[in-house]
Structures are given as structure tokens and as C-alpha cells.
Amino acid sequence: MNLELHRCFRCGWCKYPSGFEDYNCPSYARFRFESHSPGGRLWLIKAWLDKEIEWSDHLSEILFSCVACKNCVENCKMDFRDEILDWIISAKSKAIENGLAPPKVRDFLENILKYGNPWGLPRNKEASWIKELERYKDQEFLLYLGCECRYEERGARMAKNVVEVLKKAGISFGVLDDETCDGNEALMLGERGLFEELASKNLQKFRELGVKRIVTISPHAYNAMKKYAEGKFEVLHFTQLFSELLRKRKLSLSELEFKVTYHDPCFLGRHNGIYEDPRKILKSVPGLKLVEMKRNRENAFCCGGGSGNFVFDFLSGPSSPARLRIKEALGTGAEILVVVCPICKAMLEDVIKEEGRIEVKDIAEIVLISAK
């Protein structure tokens, strides 16, 4: 890897692909140090592997402030671009193996291993309404909720909205009695062993229950399950299912006169190429006006929550990615910023108190309001 890393010549294209104010790497946008840019990070990794610099808390913070948004991969012009994120993940992996990861990262991974969620919460802290949902037996879909929707208040609200839409459309679905973490963040942090353990538990459970179609709420869960369940089970993100339900006229929507903008989550967009289904849903609502932010689709700016940062929050501060994204959304004149990821929802809602003047709503809530 050391030799390959040298092929990045720090041209900086990945840092500001469309102009010198377009800082597209969330950690570079937050800190504005070359060391926190994709190229700077790669050179620091090389220097560490070549033993030219010692490991330090500062280096650790730089490495783990990469949120795996994949924007550098999208914008680098060199033929090694697809390997950039893998190099960063391999360096995180080496740091974890050698006991060098920041304590917050260690706790995050240990909590997933011991408690099945990154906060280390006991099962009785799950949103109480989940108990009332039908358990999966032989329904058409297994609805995979994920940690953020089971334990985090904003994610739980989003999951409840998705559940209500599925019921309105007459979809038969069930949830797991005892869900295992999808493992996406373990994978992005380079904890391949933990990821494989979680993947194998999930696959075993899906096989035992005879699952055929899985619908996920979080794009992070979608990304993980596409990696290990693809070809064995059909995996859909809920926006793909909603878009199909609207096409088949299983949902009828009435007029809503809102001006909205849409935030592409990295794990649905750049990681999986799904840009149009959420937009098709919004365009199906009569009267709803969709305006795009300057950075959208492949070039969308990340909320800063990936690779476990929704828990560690290494990028918090006055120019955190979430705050920058809210400012960008405000610039469109939209009244509502629409999200389709529980992590984006929590990250963006957290800063709305400071930035204000726009509401964050998940797309299922928009569909529900319009379907009444």
C-alpha cells in the first residue's frame, strides 16, 4: 500500500472540485488544514507506514475524522481513485489492530460487540412501539430497522413514518425479534472481523426465517446488506420500495404546497448510485416544488455522520459539515430539507437549533402528510 499511496500527488482536485469555495471533503471543510484533506491524509498515512512520523493522538484524530463519504473517490481524476477509501480504511484497521484507535472509536466498536448497538444501550431502551410490530414469519418483506431507528429518537420517528406508509399501501412486512447490527460502521472503520461476524449472524437469521425480500430504512444498513446479502436475498432501500408503490398506484397523494430541497445521503448516493428514487417520490406529490442545492447527487456534501462520526462527533463545531449543509439548504429558499437516512436526520436536526429557518423532515413524513 505504501508505494501506491505515493501515486496521490496532492493536486487537491478532490478538495474543491468545482471552485475554491467548494470544500467537498467534510473534514477539510471543518478544519481547513491540508492534513485533513484526502491527499494530506494519504500522505500522512504513507509517512506513518514508512516510519517517518510517530503515531500520535493528533494523527489518530485526523485519520478517524474521515467519514467515508466517498467524495474524494468521486472527484479524483486519477485511475487509482477507487482505492482511496480502501487505503484510508486499511490504515484505520491497522490503527485498531495495534490498539491505537481513539478511545471513542474503541468504545463504539466494543458496544456493538457486547450490546449490539454503538451506544451500549440495553434492549429495554428500544423505542417502545417496536414491540407492537408484527414479527417476521412469512410476510413479503423483512423490514430491517437498524440501531439508529431502534434506539435514537429521531431515527425512531422516521421508522414509525416508514411503517405507517407501508401499512397505508397494504404491504405485508414483519420485523426481527432480536435484530443484529448491520455492521456497516464496523466495515468503514476497518474492523473487518466484527463486520464478518455480524454479517454471518444476520445471514443465518435470514436463512432460518426464509426471508426473500429485505427493506432497510438506513442507507448504511442497505450498503452493508448489499455487500453480504446481494444475490441471496433481494435488498431494497425504502425509497426504492416507495417509488415502486407510487408507480403501481398503491399510494395516492394529494396536493402539498411546500418548497423542498433534498439531501443525498452518501451511502445511498455515492456508495450505491441511488439518486432518482427519492426525487421521483417528491415529484409524485402534487404541488410540491423541489429545488436542488448547488451540490447534489454525485457531488452532494455529506452531513458528517458516516464511519461512526454520528456517535464520536469529531467534526463538531461552528463549521461542522451538518451546519454547512443546512446553510446550503437555506440558500435554496426551501422551507423543508428532506432526508432519507436516520443518521442524516439526527445530524442535521441537531444543528437546526443554531442555524434555524428550515425544517428537516424525512421523506416518509412528507408522503404520510400528502396521503392523508
Write out the residues near ligand SF4 by the rule CB under 6 A. 8-14, 25-27, 38-39, 41, 66-72, 76, 78, 84-85
CB of 214 to ligand SF4, least distance (A): 26
C-alpha span between 148 and 341 (Å, rounded):
9
CB of 304 to ligand SF4, least distance (A): 8
C-alpha span between 304 and 9 (Å, rounded):
25
Crossing angle for the helix pair 192-209 and 219-228, to the nearest 10 degrees: 80
Residue whose C-alpha cell reads 405485508 in the numeric block: 172
- State which residue has the least CB distance to ligand SF4: 39
Nearer to ligand SF4, 84 or 109 (CB): 84
Nearer to ligand SF4, 63 or 225 (CB): 63
Nearer to ligand SF4, 70 or 154 (CB): 70
Nearer to ligand SF4, 75 or 370 (CB): 75
Question: How far does CA 164 lie from the centroid of its chain?
Answer: 22
Q: Using alpha carbons, select from 46, 47, 91 the residue that is nearest to residue 68.
A: 91
Nearer to ligand SF4, 42 or 176 (CB): 42
Q: Using alpha carbons, select from 144, 147, 128, 67 the residue that is nearest to residue 342.
A: 147
CB of 223 to ligand SF4, least distance (A): 14
> Can you tell me whether residue 298 is helix, strand or coil?
helix
C-alpha span between 24 and 368 (Å, rounded):
33
Is residue 173 a contact partner of residue 134, using CB atoms and an 8 Å limit? yes
CB of 295 to ligand SF4, least distance (A): 12
CB of 84 to ligand SF4, least distance (A): 5
Nearer to ligand SF4, 9 or 128 (CB): 9
CB of 268 to ligand SF4, least distance (A): 15
